[in-house]
Chains A and B, each alone.
Chain A
């Protein structure tokens, strides 16, 4: 053992080094985030609670196809589809229930939706003492969508309009759309 190594051992050199390190860290800024007082900055693509969206005229996007129900790996979505009264070809979700307690926030439902009626929000503060408050229906999901996405998408002309219905009638008559420009 060399002299310096011996001296290092006698005077606890390594321990003194460690003490210096901890002392230096005492004056460094804490990395703590005081969570309820300061909220974290969420990354883009963060998947919080799921929501239902509307078109700019306030009508629901959902067409009740239940593809989200099929895509959901934990089976927390339940869609009951129905015909729109007076317009039998237009369907919508009569009931749409969503059980947050078992949701895994995978976002597969959003990917599966053919009309972009679903979206993951950045809401995550849904802790509750009452489990029943976490069993959401369509109105609650639409409300979540409203408060998280205030800029609604434009409704396409062929949906829910006279022209749209006329187009559908022609499709029914010919079984095949010839004139795509009118769509």
Chain B
């Protein structure tokens, strides 16, 4: 493959991944409203299209048409920059997410063999890259809240900063156990190490099942994406809409997209790191393509996000902090300790 073909293939892969992610984001909002509706004995969107299936498109069009307002007294540059700073880290995280295994080589005339892979790139520091990006995403929220010249936005931004710092530690450290067992930071390598049935997945695998880490990761991920019951940065009943109170139109849509893209991203990480990525739960189910299993696992996690939202009320701020520092972090540290001891004896 020469450089030009390689570039075309990479750009094509990026395009496919982006379209897939954005489509998922659009329909995540639809299914969130549907699932929440069902759980509250309602119907959810029903009017636009069959059972409201075109609702996300209608919403998107509406957001395009909306007036773009920059409040007076706002810092215009940072106000415009913040949504982009929030959306881009959420989207470029998908560069290292492997959607499946293997590669597809097609011999083309004149051009030669063209190889397609089910991921944009296999970074050898994949998880580190994702954790770094999730912290950068918090800058968008913080700056957006600060630049809006509004007390609600400012409070939302401050809460977001505090929350992200508290829960990022737990989020990162809950993955450390798996990293110890896998011996790699590359998401592709971690997923490949879990082949052959669900008892090889790190959530259930010997020497020390990471099921506790998975639960802690799930809680930290909900907090990290500012979802209920940890949605203090955008607490409607206290802060209007939190950090994006002053945003409208496409800028608001960017924050919205970023939130849902982040949801998909943390679900993807959970599926790859703890639940074997694209691997089937039983070896005899291997004939089903890997991407089906991968998406299935991601959807289960996303459903869990909705489920928790429909069930739990918002935490108080001090409860959030107490839970983060006094429960989550000691538990992840204990998990790392036990895992490393177990891994040491297992490997010797």
Contacts and interface: CB of A to CB of B under 8 A. Distances in A.
Residue among A22, A25, A34 with max Cβ neighbours from chain B (10 Å): A22
Contacts of A23: 39, 307
Interface stretch (B40-48, B136-144, B283-291): B40-48
A28 to B, nearest CB: 6
Interface stretch (A13-21, A55-63, A98-106): A13-21
B43 A22 contact: no
A32 B42 contact: yes
Interface string B35-76: 101111111001000000000000000000000000000000
A30 interface: yes
Contacts of A26: 35, 38-39
B230 to A, nearest CB: 13
A29 B312 contact: no
Interface in B187-227: none
Contacts of A18: 311-312
A32 B37 CA distance: 10
A162 interface: no
Interface string A30-47: 111010000000000000
B241 interface: no
Given A26-B35, A30-B37, A19 B42 contact: no
Q: Which of the four size classes fits the interface of chain B?
A: 10 to 19
B43 A25 contact: no
B310 interface: yes
Contacts of A28: 41
Contact of A25 (B39, B308, B312): B39
Contacts of A25: 38-41
Contacts of B39: 22-23, 25-26
A16 B41 CA distance: 19
A27 B40 CA distance: 10
A28 B40 CA distance: 9
A22 B42 CA distance: 12
A34 B46 contact: yes
Nearest to A26: B38
Contacts of A30: 37-38, 41-43
26 contacts: A15-B311, A15-B312, A19-B308, A21-B311, A22-B39, A22-B307, A22-B310, A22-B311, A23-B39, A23-B307, A25-B38, A25-B39, A25-B40, A25-B41, A26-B35, A26-B39, A27-B38, A29-B41, A30-B37, A30-B38, A30-B41, A30-B42, A31-B41, A32-B41, A32-B43, A34-B43
